[in-house]
Structure 1
Amino acid sequence: MSNIKYTADHEWVRIEGDGTATVGITVHAQDALGDVVFVDLPEVGKSFAEKEVAGVVESVKAAADVYMPVDGEITEVNEALRDDPSLANSDPLASGWFFKVKLSNAGQLDALMDATAYDELVKNS
């Protein structure tokens, strides 16, 4: 079983073993946005509810909200991404991560999609 889940809003969530998760935008999202030029990352220590806007990603084509996939508290943001927003394009699933969150309700992860379901969503959209 993969430790990465996906949202219908095109965020990925990598579940870490310590009750935290790393969040970023999917390859599909960065493809749709085009060249990312700016990211607005959440404040460390701030808590968000599931589906609340936690950040913004801006590209040459559009701006898009980054939604919190689960309830939790921001424990870290990717300062490298703030300095070089193009990481969201060049390496969206690794060095282009947006933030880390301490999960308030790990059960919410069960409602997220696995890679197969996400691929179907993208294919049919």
Structure 2
Amino acid sequence: MNEDDNEQPLNLDIPDHLEYSEEHVWVDRSVDPAIIGITEYAADQLGELVFVDMPEPGSRVEAGDEVVELESSKAVQPLISPVAGTVRYVNHDVADDPSVVNGDPYGEGWILKIELDDDEPELLSADEYAKIVK
């Protein structure tokens, strides 16, 4: 998507190489284990994160599970996993300083790395996700 399309509200960054859920979670399946985080839109809506409650590595996750609790000055919101698999890594930098997510939700602010089950998750492309947050 080029910048003159003007389809992205509030100049939100929605990277094309990622896939998205309607619950504002991104998934990068180009790497193994897959990386999961919250979108810039979700980070903006939540405000400055103050606490992130992570699952233990080795935990089983089913699509639709509330796997992480995100607490901000505004609200407490669960991260709902769009994929099924086993948690392999949690981002300790985010656990120590949740504001990393607000500053770089698609980079240093990743939340989990999950070894995916073989089933195909129902995820949205960047363009499909952009239409939801308009």
TM-score, normalized by the shorter chain, greater than 0.5: yes
Q: How does 1:1-125 map to 2 (within 5 A)?
A: 2-18=16-32, 20-108=33-121, 111-123=122-134
Distance 1:91 1:61 in 2: 19
- Please identify runs of 4+ aligned residues in structure 1 that moved more than 3 A: none
- Bigger Rg over Cα: 2
Distance 2:71 2:49 in 1: 6
Distance 1:17 1:61 in 2: 33
After superposition, give the CA deviation of every residue in 1:52-95 in whole Å (9 maximum; x if it has no partner).
01111110000100111111000000000011100110000110
Structure 2 residue matching 1:112: 3-state secondary structure = coil
Q: TM-score, normalised by structure 1?
A: 0.91
- Name the one with the larger strand percent: 1
The percent of aligned pairs where both chains have the same amino acid is 38
How far is the alpha carbon of 1:106 from its aligned partner? 4.4
Distance 1:15 1:3 in 2: 9
Q: TM-score, normalised by structure 2?
A: 0.85
Distance 1:69 1:57 in 2: 16
How far is the alpha carbon of 1:17 from its aligned partner? 3.7
Structure 1 residue runs of 5 or longer lacking an equivalent are none
Structure 1 residue matching 2:41: 3-state secondary structure = helix
